Every structure is written in structure tokens, then in C-alpha cells.
Amino acid sequence: MQHKIEALTNQLLEKNEQLSASKARAWIELLWSDFESSYARAGYDYKGAAVAEMVIKKWIDGYGGQLHEFASTNEKYKHLLEVDDFLQ
């Protein structure tokens, strides 16, 4: 799974030059977690990491260039993305 996270992080970095590598990775981990928890709350059976990866790729393609703007307006994510050294 780490390989998938790294690949998605690199894809996001290509779409959004405003994000550092650590913030891009944090976004990928947050999106992955939110997708899986939302999917489960909706009552769907878990379809595996491949489905989560596919959905996140679509989100990156559609919204990756604007994620840095969203973080500054959403309190749920703002505190997680304010610092840049939390993964070190």
C-alpha cells in the first residue's frame, strides 16, 4: 500500500505545485481514509485498495490543482496541513 500512496502523492505533486511533498502525502492519506470511512458508513462492502486508488486518482485529476485552496477554508483539514514537518 505504501507504493500506492507514494505513486498517488507523486501524481498530486504533478498537478499542484503549491503543495510540498509532505503536504501532498498528507492529502493522499486523508483522502484515502475519508473515502474508506464514507464508503463504510454508506453500508457498502469493502472493495479493496484498488477501488480507493481509482477514486483518488479521479479526485486528483479533477481537483488536485486546487487542494491547497480547500485546506485553508476547511477546519477539518486546516490544522492537519498547517505544518510541513509532521511526517519527519
Looking at residue 40, its pLDDT comes to: 84
Contact 27, 66 (CB under 8 A): no
The 10s digit of each residue's pLDDT in 23-70 is: 899 899 989 998 998 888 888 888 889 999 999 999 999 999 988 777
The long-range contacts involving 10-16, CB below 8 angstroms and separated by at least 24 positions, are 11/57, 11/60, 11/64, 12/60, 12/64, 12/67, 15/60, 15/61, 15/64, 15/65, 16/64, 16/65, 16/66, 16/67, 16/68
In a domain, 15, yes or no: yes
In a domain, 86, yes or no: no
In a domain, 50, yes or no: yes
Instruction: Provide the pLDDT confidence category of residue 88 given band limits of 50, 70 and 90.
Output: very low
| Comparison of pLDDT for 87 and 70, the residue scoring more | 70
In a domain, 65, yes or no: yes
Looking at residue 52, its pLDDT comes to: 92
